[in-house]
Every structure is written in structure tokens, then in C-alpha cells.
Amino acid sequence: MSIQTVNPNTNKIVKSFDEMSDSTVDTLVAKAEKAYASWRNISYTERGKVMHNVALLMRKKKESLAKLITLEMGKLISQAEGEIVLSADIIDYYATNAEKFLADIELNPEFGKAFIRHSPLGVVFGVEPWNFPFYQVARFASPNIMIGNTVVIKHASMVPQCAIAIEDLFKESGAPEGLYTNLLISGKRASALVSDVRIKGVSLTGSEAAGASLAAEAGRNLKKSVLELGGNDPFIILEDADIDKAVEWAVVGRVNNNGECCVASKRFIAVEAIADVFLEKFKDKLSKLKVGDPMDRTTELGPLSSEEAAVLIADQVKRSIDAGAKVILGGNRLKRPGAFMEPTILTDLTPGMAAYNEELFGPVASFYRVKDEQAAIDLANDSAFGLGGSVFTSDIERGKLVADKIDSGMVFINHPTWTQADLPFGGTKRSGYGRELSELGIHEFVNKKLIRISELNDPF
């Protein structure tokens, strides 16, 4: 894939970038390693100052940065502005709390005295996706920089201007050279960099294929990896749910970020008693969404991120229909320029169909009718993925019992999904491993070093 900005609202190329050569990458990694040598010795307070400056500048430039997101990947402009604020919040959160999270842990061993010191590892490598171009980077870079690591980032090839803008924020905020480095390289070259001895850990957010390739390389080189991959999240509606509220959240859960969200609600599973009424209202609301230019503040559903993404989801819908699925709403590309797909609902889905097994990244909802709560849980768990999921019920205790039985990294009761700085984020099964955000997120790329103190004459 070439590195360029293509406006998905028009599919016109806006700007192209040259890939960095191997020697440029080598020089930049050397600078990151050099920066680590001093950054690791700087106090949390000093590190925090740089990071708070980055967050402040990000907030100041909210409008222009949000426009870049919308231009490059089609997110609705109001949601892009929300992403900038959320990203700044994450940066501030780690800048404020890292020292507390990484404080020494006193141990009480049977013999002698000991404690755990949290030490940085060195240069860590992040491979990031286009769907949340600022938020994903903030999740990875902020905790690592506060640990004392330095970061090199390979961002998705279709958001180069966002990638450059983030690096510029660090430069303008007084970050030392090499603390945060953007590598303009293609995905194909990302895995090769993992074997570089100067890289001490790798994290990838993206597809299963890219994750498996990067993690295999990390394994070969005995390096720690974190993977945040795709999902096929269930959205369970029980008979005691507030149906109107469930429908409202179902629409948000499916079309937020134009449906291109790892934790989007993708499989709508309604128990028999309320299935018809839910489906009718869900269809009505989805069909009334105003589709159009994501820069227009009245638009409710924008284009997909790229023509390739629109072609892929239209093909997944077609393959499902060919295999026997029924279309309740939509089902086609919109007849207008740009990477647009109609809001769509599919039913009569069975194992083996594309819409049953694969992640649908766009405004296409899979609808399932099941006998009861247990059947809903069984269907929810019949997925290779295990990222998020939700359950709608008026009985919170019942919701907690259902949540406990869903095999995923996150379950939301009476909400489609949620993320904030102080809540952990991550999945199980083929959705990856490791966690980002919260205190858990800062413990991924850190050396939990044991330091033991003995008296010289202690017995061995």
C-alpha cells in the first residue's frame, strides 16, 4: 500500500508521501535509542511536564487536527473532535498517575528484605491502525513514555498527515529528539524491524493477519508483544430490556465511527419474546440515518475509510446473501462518489457465512433471534473473536451473570461499548492479548525488577 491521503468522501488522492529508506529508519531508531539513554534517568515530574504540554497543545489544535482525521479516514467531524479530547485525556492521565502506578512494591520475603522496582525497557515499537489515528497512538505512546521508554511508531499508510501531526505535537512541546518517532514505512517492512536488537518490545493494533505476522517475528526474536485485534461483538437484548433505549444504543453501537470500530456492536442477538419489536424499531432508526459528507455536522453516517473497505464489506454482504442470508435493510453500495455503504441489516445467518464468521467493519448489522438467555450466551460465544460485548436488561444482577459467561475481554451492561483512560481495554481469543489503558496498560513494557537486600553474613 502506498503512503497517501485519499479523501474517502470523494475517493480523490489528496497528498502522497515517499516511504523512508532503510538507512533513514536506521538513523531514526539510533536516535530513539540515544534518547532512551537520558530519558530513562529523567524524573516522572519532568517526563510528565513534556506529556502535559503535548496534551495541552493537542487540545488547542483540536479543530485542525480533527479535520485531518476526517479528511484522511472519513470519521464524522464531531467524533473526530471527541477523539482529540479523549487522546489528550489519556496523555494527561498517564502523565499524572505514572509515578503512583510504577512506585516500588515492598515485599515481605521469608528471609531478608526485597522490593520490586519498575524499570523501563528501551525503545518500543508501536504499529497503529487508521480507525482512531490519535487515540490508538495515545494509548500506546503515553504509558511507555512515562515509564521511561522511547517509542517508534509505524502508523497506518492511509493516515500519514495524522501521523506527522502527532510527531509535530511532540516536537512543539519540547520533547527531546528521539523520544517519539514516526516511521513512514509500509506494513510489509514493519515486521522486519522487530528483529532489530535496539527494539525491546512491540505492540500492534490492527487485523489478525498483521498481528500474527508481527507476533511471530517477536516470538522468533524473544520479544514481548501486545496485540489489539478485531472483534465480532455480541449485543444481547433480553426480554426485560428497555427496548427503545436498547434500539438507540444499538444504532450508536453499530454506526459509531461509521461502523469501523473494533468494539462496535456487530451481532445483535434478541430473545424471541422481543425480537420482532426490536428488529422493527432498529430497522426504522438505521434507515433514517442521514448519510453524507463527514465534514458536514448534520451528517450521521459518513463514508468508510477507503474504497477498499467499502468493496470488502459489500463483498462480505454479497457472499452472505449467496449463502442464504436475508436482507432486511440496505445491502448495497450507495450510488454516489466516495466509499459509501448503505446501512444494512442481515438475518438468517448460519455458521460458515461471511457475516457469521468474519468481522464486518462498516454499517452492516447481523441480526439473530434466539429462544432464551442461554441460547443468546451460546451464540455470543460462538465466535473466534473475544473483544467486547454488551447485554441489555433491566436487572443488573442478571446482567452481571450474563456478562460473566461471555468469553471476551470487556462486557458492557446497558451500553454498547465504552472507553476512557482509567478503564482497561483489550481482548481474548483471536482478538489478541495484553491490555492498554488504565493502570494495567502501563505494566506491559516494563521490567519488574526484583531488588533484594541481604546482610553480608546471611546464610546461603
CB of residue 3 vs ligand NAP: minimum separation in angstroms? 7
Q: Which is nearer to ligand NAP, 160 or 292 (CB)?
A: 160
Closest C-alpha among 412, 413, 408, 411 to residue 431: 408
Question: C-alpha dihedral over 179, 182, 187, 190, to 10 degrees?
Answer: -30
- State yes or no: is 228 an active-site residue: yes
Q: Which is nearer to ligand NAP, 126 or 330 (CB)?
A: 126
What are the grid coordinates assigned to 359, written together?
A: 468481522
Rounded to whole angstroms, how far apart are CA atoms 2 and 193?
A: 18
Rounded to whole angstroms, how far apart are CA atoms 335 and 343?
A: 13
Rounded to whole angstroms, how far apart are CA atoms 77 and 83?
A: 10
Q: Which is nearer to ligand NAP, 19 or 240 (CB)?
A: 19
Check if the beta carbon of residue 280 is closer than 8 Å to that of residue 237: no
CB of residue 17 vs ligand NAP: minimum separation in angstroms? 11
Q: In whole angstroms, how far apart are CA 441 and each of 98, 126, 167, 355? A: 11, 14, 22, 32
CB of residue 427 vs ligand NAP: minimum separation in angstroms? 6
Point out which residues bind ligand NAP (CB under 6 A): 1, 127-131, 154-157, 186-187, 190-191, 204-207, 210, 213-214, 228-231, 262, 359, 361, 387, 427, 431-432
Residues 217, 262, 359, 373: which is the catalytic one?
Answer: 262
Check if the beta carbon of residue 271 is closer than 8 Å to that of residue 240: no
CB of residue 132 vs ligand NAP: minimum separation in angstroms? 6
Which amino acid does the sequence have at 266? K
- State yes or no: is 261 an active-site residue: no
Check if the beta carbon of residue 128 is closer than 8 Å to that of residue 141: no
CB of residue 353 vs ligand NAP: minimum separation in angstroms? 18
Q: Which is nearer to ligand NAP, 230 or 441 (CB)?
A: 230
* Helix-helix angle 187-194:208-220, to 10 degrees: 20
Q: Which helix (H) or strand (E) holds 150?
A: strand 150-154
What are the grid coordinates assigned to 386, written together?
A: 473475544
Q: Are strands 150-154 and 180-182 parallel, antiparallel or unpaired?
A: parallel
Q: Which is nearer to ligand NAP, 190 or 411 (CB)?
A: 190
Q: Which is nearer to ligand NAP, 65 or 262 (CB)?
A: 262
CB of residue 190 vs ligand NAP: minimum separation in angstroms? 4
Q: Which is nearer to ligand NAP, 153 or 270 (CB)?
A: 153
Q: Are strands 123-127 and 113-119 parallel, antiparallel or unpaired?
A: unpaired
Rounded to whole angstroms, how far apart are CA atoms 129 and 133?
A: 7
Residues 72, 128, 217, 228: which is the catalytic one?
Answer: 228
Q: Which is nearer to ligand NAP, 275 or 387 (CB)?
A: 387
CB of residue 263 vs ligand NAP: minimum separation in angstroms? 7
What are the grid coordinates assigned to 231, written together?
A: 472483534
Closest C-alpha among 373, 387, 393 to residue 233: 387
Measured at the alpha carbon of residue 283, what is the angle toward residues 244 and 315, in degrees to the nearest 5?
135
Three-state SS across 156-214? CCCCHHHHHHHHHHHHHCCCCCCCEEECCCCHHHHHHHHCCCCEEEEEEECCHHHHHHH
CB of residue 399 vs ligand NAP: minimum separation in angstroms? 23
Q: Which residues are catalytic?
A: 228, 262
